[in-house]
Amino acid sequence: MKRLLGALWLVVVGQVGAADFDYRLNARPIARDVYAFIGQTEDFTTANGGNIVNTAFIVAPQGVIVIDSGPSLRYGQQMRRAIAAVTAKPIALVINTHHHPDHFLGNQAFADVPIAALAETRTGIGADGNAFAENLFRMSGDWMKGTEVQVPTQTVTAGQLDVAGRRLQLVALDGHTGADLVIFDEPSGVLFAGDLVFNGRAPTTPHADIAHWLAGLDRLEALTREAGFKVLVPGHGAVTSDATPIRQTRAWLNWLTAAMRESASAGLDMNDVLARPLPAEFADLPMAATEYRRSVGHLFPAAEQAVLGGGK
């Protein structure tokens, strides 16, 4: 009976937390004039409303630069209010790092200002945005009420970008998706890595090219060794002042690749692969078991095909 009452209490608490639809966004200062909203290292649920992502903003001399807009219209609206509590400067630009829904479905709250992304990201949001939104409705429930897809209105490319009196360096990579934008804020030394980097959470792989991703991580780690680097903001997980999350992400991807290749070479079927235990290194990593199962579905068929085709 006590267990039943405890379970019912947890359900009630979860429902109360969701009923007010308050993401309780806390603008955390991570460098001078740079703030981040740090999401939970969880999956999408009706309790967290999709607040599992890191978003950020930079207070530039003539306006605010927003980096990713979150998973819903409500999130974007609350993000704008949280920004306004820090500065009265107008929003100058919103940048989407890639086309996964937790990073762009808040765009609707910024429809009155320029929204920018890499060309392939703009295309991906236009093609897949509605399906992504429907999926998040199923996973997060009424937190998503009123959310509609707002495709970025501007295209950015790799190189220097001056926005509202602030100089950014844009690095165009891929691997987590077909287009992953990394942003280095020169005045503060903050490197926004997007979902190329996960910290304290297993990476997601629905659109991954692992070889390209690993190459991108090498490029990112090189950037952390350059003069001026001070802070790393991953797409998910805690902010750091070193490259530890990059190495953690690389270790997971290397293990995952080896596990798929070895399983395929051994002639295992997908059920056998799903039953493989996680190595001790990742056993306690949040979302590891769930993301491993998903990644088997994403990656194992290609590993099997590579073995059948002689690795070609």
SS3 202: coil
For residue 159, being part of any structural domain is answered with yes
For residue 169, being part of any structural domain is answered with yes
Is pLDDT above 70 for 197?
yes
Q: Which residues in 130-262 belong to E strands, given as ranges?
A: 154-155, 159-163, 166-173, 180-185, 190-198, 231-236
Q: What is the mean pLDDT of residues 237-250?
A: 98
What span, in angstroms and rounded, lies between the C-alpha atoms of 150 and 106?
8
What span, in angstroms and rounded, lies between the C-alpha atoms of 243 and 197?
10
Output the CA torsion 215→221→225→228 (10° steps): 110
Q: What is the CATH number of the domain that holds 142?
A: 3.60.15.10
Q: What is the mean pLDDT of residues 91-100?
A: 98
The H-or-E segment that residue 215 falls in is helix 210-224
Domain that holds residue 110: 15-243
Q: Residue 288's closest CA among 202, 195, 200?
A: 202
For residue 212, being part of any structural domain is answered with yes
Q: How confident is the model at residue 310 (pLDDT cuts 50, 70, 90)?
A: low
Identify the DSSP state of 67. Answer: E
Q: Are 30 and 233 in contact (CB under 8 A)?
A: yes
pLDDT of residue 22: 97
**Which position has the higher pLDDT, 82 or 309?**
82
Q: What is the mean pLDDT of residues 267-271?
A: 95
CA 165 vs CA 57, 206, 225: distances in Å:
14, 37, 26
Q: How confident is the model at residue 308 (pLDDT cuts 50, 70, 90)?
A: confident
Q: b or e along 21-47 (b: 16 or more beta carbons within 10 Å of the residue's beta carbon)?
A: bebebebeebbebbbbbbbbbbbbbbb
pLDDT of residue 165: 98
- pTM (2 d.p.): 0.93
For residue 4, being part of any structural domain is answered with no
For residue 262, being part of any structural domain is answered with no
Q: Residue 117's closest CA among 64, 171, 156, 70?
A: 156
Q: Which amino acid is at 195?
A: D
- What's the domain count of the chain? 1
SS3 59: strand
Share of the chain above pLDDT 90, in %: 91
What span, in angstroms and rounded, lies between the C-alpha atoms of 64 and 92?
5
